[in-house]
Structure 1
Amino acid sequence: MTRYRWLSAEWPVSIATLAKRLKAKPFSSQVRHGFVVDRVRDESLEGRYIERIEYKETVTDPFGVELSFERVEFKKSEFRISISRPGLEIREAPRSFQGLMNQLSEVVDFKVSIASESVSVLEWADKIQYLAKRPIIIDSIQINSLSLKEGVSAKIIVKGEKDVRVACDALTKGRHYLLEKVQLRFVDNISNGFIILGSSGSANLEIDDSSGELLKIVREGLSFLKN
C-alpha cells in the first residue's frame, strides 16, 4: 500500500525559482537536514527532505551494567510541489512532517500558508470514477460522530460485498455525522485492489498502479473539489 497526503499551498514563486532555492539547501553528511531535488518540470517538482537524528541509547546488561550507544536515524519525507491545487503532496508521510513544512516555508520567506485539506470523500470518489471512465463501488465507509441521541455518538464502519452507500444513507438519515473515509474498487476488476480516500486529503492505493495513471487521476480528482 502506498500512502499519500495532500495539503493546500499556494506558492509565491515559480517552480524554477523554488527548485533553485531548494537546491541551495542540499542534504549532505555535513548537515543535519536538507533537500534532494529529484525532478523538475514546468508546473511541478519532486524531491525529498531528509533529517539526520542522533541520540544515545542506553541498555542494561544481565549484570546491571548500563551500556550506552550512539545511534543515528534518517527521516525521509518524499514530496511533490505543484502550482495547481492542492499544492503539496507527501508520499509515505512520516508521523510528523513539521520539519519539512517549516523548511519549505523558510525557502519562500514564510510567504506561503500550508494547511490541511478538508474534502467530501464521496465527491472525490465520483470524480475518480468520471476521470477514470470506469464504474466503481464503495464497499466500506467509515463514519465518526454519528449522533445516536443527545450526548451519545458512535464511530462505525459500514462494510459489504456490494456498494454500501444506500445502506449508509438509511443509517445516517436525519442524524449528524462526519464522513471520514471510503474504500472504492473498480467494478471491471474488483479483485485487483482498492483505494481508500480520507477527508483530510489522504489516499492509500492498494492497487496495481505501475504506470502511475491512477495516482494522476486521484490527484486530479482532488484538485476539482472545494476545500
Structure 2
Amino acid sequence: MNRVRWLNAQWPSSIRAVGKRLIEMPFTDERMDGFAIERIRDDFIEGRYIEKYNYQEVISTPFGSEEVFDRIGYRTTEFTLFDSPPHIELRSYHRSIKELISRLLEACSFNLVVTPPTVNLIEWVSALQVAVDQDITVDSLQVSGVEIDEGVTGKILLKGVKDVREATDILLAGRKHVLEKVQVKFAGLNKTVAIQLSNNGTAKLPAVLPNDLLRHLRVSFPRGDS
C-alpha cells in the first residue's frame, strides 16, 4: 500500500531557487537528516528527505536476562515540490512530517507558508473519472457530523457492491455532514484498481501503481478549499 499526501504552499521564490537551497542541505554521514535532490526543473523538484535516528533493541537471552543493543535506523520520504497547487506531494511518508516541513521552512528562510487542504471528495472523484477516462465506482464512503436530531450527530460508513453515492444522498436527505473518506474502483492494468481518498488531501494506493495514476490524482485534485 502506497500512501500519498498533498499540501498547499506559498513559495517565497522560484522552484529552481528553492531546489538550489535544498541541494545545500544534503544528507551525509555526519548529519541526522537532510535532502537527496534528484531533479530540478522550472516547475518542479524531485527528491528524498532522509532522517537518521537512534534506538535500542532489547533481546531476551535463553538465560532469562536481556541484552540491549544500540541501533541506527533511517526513514525516507519521497517528495515532489511543484510551482502550482497542490504544491507539495509526499510519498511513502511517515506519520509525522514535522521535521520535513521544518527543513523546508529553513530552506525558504522561514518565509514559507504550508497549509493542509480541505478537499471536496465528490469534486475530486468526478475530476478523476475524467482524467483516467474510466467509469469510477464509489463502493465505500464515510461521513461524520451527520445531524440526526437537534444536538445529536453521528458517523456513518456505507459499503456496497455498487456505487453508494445515490444511496448516500437518499440517506442523508439534505442533513448537514462532512464527507471524510471514499474508496473508489476502476479498471487498470487488466485488473480492478482500488484507491482510498480522504478530505485532508491523502490517498492510499495499491503497491503497484497504474501508469500515470499519481499524475491523474494531482491533476484532478480540487484547487479550492471547501
Q: Does the 8 Å contact 1:193/1:207 carry over to 2?
A: no
Spell out the pairing of 1:164-179 with structure 2 (5 A cutoff). Answer: 164-179=164-179
User: CA distance change for structure 1 residues 191 and 153 in 2, over 3 Å: closer, same or farther?
Assistant: farther
Matches of 1:43 and 1:182, distance apart in 2:
30
Which ranges in structure 1 are unaligned for 5 or more consecutive residues? none
Deviation at 1:79, TM superposition (A): 0.9
User: CA distance change for structure 1 residues 103 and 189 in 2, over 3 Å: closer, same or farther?
Assistant: closer
Spell out the pairing of 1:24-173 with structure 2 (5 A cutoff). Answer: 24-58=24-58, 61=61, 65-173=65-173
Q: Does 1:220 align with 2:215?
A: no
Q: Does the 8 Å contact 2:121/2:198 carry over to 1?
A: yes
For residue 5 of structure 2, what is the aligned residue in structure 1?
5
User: CA distance change for structure 1 residues 139 and 210 in 2, over 3 Å: closer, same or farther?
Assistant: closer
SS of the equivalent of 2:105 reads: helix
User: CA distance change for structure 1 residues 210 and 129 in 2, over 3 Å: closer, same or farther?
Assistant: closer
Which ranges in structure 2 are unaligned for 5 or more consecutive residues? none
For residue 17 of structure 2, what is the aligned residue in structure 1?
17
Structural RMSD (CA): 2.1
Deviation at 1:98, TM superposition (A): 0.5
- Aligned pair count? 225
Matches of 1:188 and 1:71, distance apart in 2:
42
TM-score under structure 2 length normalisation: 0.91
Q: Does the 8 Å contact 1:124/1:225 carry over to 2?
A: no
Give the letter aligned to residue 179 of structure 2. Answer: L
Matches of 2:19 and 2:188, distance apart in 1:
41
Matches of 1:15 and 1:225, distance apart in 2:
19
Deviation at 1:128, TM superposition (A): 0.9
User: CA distance change for structure 1 residues 61 and 153 in 2, over 3 Å: closer, same or farther?
Assistant: farther
Deviation at 1:191, TM superposition (A): 4.7
Q: Which moved more, 1:178-187 or 1:195-204?
A: 178-187
Deviation at 1:209, TM superposition (A): 3.3
Deviation at 1:43, TM superposition (A): 0.5
Residue by residue over 1:148-175, the C-alpha shift from the partner in whole angstroms, topping out at 9 and shown as x without a partner, is 2234332221111111111001111132
- Aligned identity (percent) is 37
Matches of 2:19 and 2:5, distance apart in 1:
21
Give the letter aligned to residue 217 of structure 1. Answer: H
